[in-house]
Amino acid sequence: MKIGIPRGLLYDQFYPFFTRFFTELGAELVISPQTNKSILDSGAQYCVDEACLPVKVFHGHVCYLKDKCDLLFIPRIMQLYKDEYICPKFCGLPEMVINSIPGLPEVISHPFSATSMARLRQWAMASASRITGNRRRVSAALEAAVKEQSHFKTGYDDQGYPIKVALAGHPYNIYDTFINMNIKKKLNQLGVGVITEECVDEAEMEPEVQTLFKKPFWTFARKTYGFIAALAANRQVQGIVYISSFACGIDSVIIELVRDRTGEFPMLVLKIDEHTGEAGVDTRIEAFADMLERSVKLESNHSPHGQCIYRCKSPV
């Protein structure tokens, strides 16, 4: 049994869990390659126009796999934390893909909720039913997958750069170097180090989230807001680079909340879609790095601490 796994959306966050689970069941895995132009083009061709770029890219990964596997795995990721959801596009992703791309093999798309072991077991039993009826084997595969994921660490925390920025956005925009045109490398070449939200303790973010008038309903909104607001307020970075998907409603909310909280703290928002040109991105990153460099020099002339001159608003 060959199972196709698209390397799109939250694959980079959860591949240890999913690949271990299906491998333990005895399936052979076929994983699509890193995103490339042909994947992007086929995704843009089949996906509805109004979808965000990461969802289009996911469609492209499915196109790559559709004739290479017996079963296709499209994770319907609903919840990672209690009382929060991921994004409506994730909940309806299997239907979107099935109705847009003809000739797909059978799809595994049971709702995935990581809020308890009981919910994970439900997902595991349902997802494994086409591969094995041996419940003991499924339970063992689930235990192994959970263990594998618990050892997995991701995130960037560059050291030794004169300037450091918070690199914010959804994980697929940060870790898919084709989507983001290798922004981390570009920033590093300009002398700018980056830190991502996985490297900041949730306990550090939580007080900032508590200042909002209500707890965000979306996990991305809670975590990204908490990450940026905490780092800006504590002056752990000199600026923010936010990679945002064009047509992403959650990004629009986060950016407004962050702007309201951080005031004039420097933030570069790069909105990306399939038409974004690399030259334009390069120019904006260079200008931003230049501005940060000047602000740090200016401040170090006036302050013994060398902190950024831009001020984040005080907690509400």
Beta carbons of 143 and 132 less than 8 angstroms apart: no
Contacts (CB under 6 A) with ligand SF4, residues 237-276? 245, 248, 250-251
Nearer to ligand SF4, 127 or 245 (CB): 245
CB of 90 to ligand SF4, least distance (A): 6
CB of 247 to ligand SF4, least distance (A): 7
SS3 breakdown of the chain: % helix, strand, coil, rounded to 5? Answer: 50, 15, 35
Structure tokens at 81: 């934390």
Nearer to ligand SF4, 55 or 80 (CB): 55
Question: CA 164 to CA 98: how far, in whole Å?
Answer: 42
Residue 10 per-residue DSSP state: T
Which residues are CB-neighbours of 21 under 8 A, at least 6 positions away? 124, 127, 141, 142, 144, 145
Residue 222 in contact with ligand SF4, rule: CB under 6 A: no
**x/- site string to ligand SF4, residues 66 to 105, per CB under 6 A?**
---------------------x-x----------------
CB of 172 to ligand SF4, least distance (A): 7
Structure tokens at 286: 């260079």
Exactly one of 25, 27, 39, 52 binds ligand SF4 (CB under 6 A); which one?
52
Contacts (CB under 6 A) with ligand SF4, residues 168-187? 170
Give 203: exposed, middle or buried? Use CB within 10 Å, 0-12, 13-18, 19+: exposed
Exactly one of 73, 220, 288, 310 binds ligand SF4 (CB under 6 A); which one?
220
CB of 148 to ligand SF4, least distance (A): 25
Which residues are CB-neighbours of 24 under 8 A, at least 6 positions away? 137, 140, 141, 144, 145
Residues within the interface to ligand SF4 (CB under 6 A): 52, 54-55, 87, 89, 170, 220, 245, 248, 250-251
